[in-house]
Amino acid sequence: MAEGNYFTIKEFILTGLTEKTGLQLPLFFFFLGIYVVTVLGNLGMVVVILFSPHLHHPMYFFLSHLSSVDLCQSSVITPKMLENFVMDKIVISYAGCMAQFYLFDVFAVSECHMLAAMAHDRYVDICNHLLYVTMSYKVCSWMVVGLYSVGLPCAIDETLFCKANDINHYFSLSFSSFNIIFPALIILVSYFFIIASILGIPSTEGRSKAFSTCSSHILAVALFFGSLAFMYH
């Protein structure tokens, strides 16, 4: 084997949002405020649902786990970003970068499928209310375990390519497409039947009540998939 100069990457230099030193501190407090609001909002949601017996229903059970996933996803990257605003040397180790990438991928994939599970829950409640008793705590718990389990292998697949120079684009893209398109289809099909069922309710009050149970989930879906559409655009 011919001799040559070889080196191993041990850290990455982060360019940051701006090189202007006068903006570093304002940006630090700006993103710190957003992070604090995110943490308190999600943590408050989990605590309220956990200690409120009248909220111990499948819909709120999934909502508490959605808040937990969002909290974890925000906490993977934000602390390091805040640290970079006040540090002179803005670097991240190779191991730290891979850990961030893996954990962010796990929680992002889990959140995507969690939204699909919540859509299915709304479908069963509104369209097949007599079967809603099947959504027991045990069933919902196993569903959540399965959703987290989906994120683990998908994130491993993404990080397997971190040391490769030759990447099969279609193989890598297939996992991303599955984790976006499959949950999106479940959500769309579920809401197709939900809307059809709600429109069949004769009273205006009944329709309004049925729509109100889906409003928070629709907002979460719009924000999540809207952000994905913006990223891929």
CATH number (domain holding residue 28): 1.20.1070.10
Contacts of 101 (CB under 8 A, 6+ apart): 158, 159, 162
Average pLDDT of the chain to the nearest whole number: 81
pTM of the model: 0.80
Residue 3 lies in a domain: no
Tell me, yes or no, whether 122 lies in a domain: yes
pLDDT band at 1 (very low <50, low <70, confident <90, very high): very low
Name the DSSP letter for residue 168: -
d(CA 226, CA 39): 22
Supply 5's token pair: 């100069």
The answer as to whether 93 is a domain residue is yes
- Which tens digit of pLDDT belongs to each residue from 107-130? 888 888 999 999 999 999 888 888
CA distance 145 to 79: 27
pLDDT at 36 over 90: yes
Predicted local distance difference test score (pLDDT) of residue 159: 53
**How far is Cα 221 from Cα 180, in angstroms, rounded to an integer?**
12
The string of pLDDT tens digits covering residues 60-105 is 999 999 999 999 999 998 888 888 888 777 788 878 888 888 888 8
The answer to whether 107 touches 73, Cβ cutoff 8 Å, is yes
Number of domains in the chain: 1
Residue 110 lies in a domain: yes
Domain around 157: 11-232
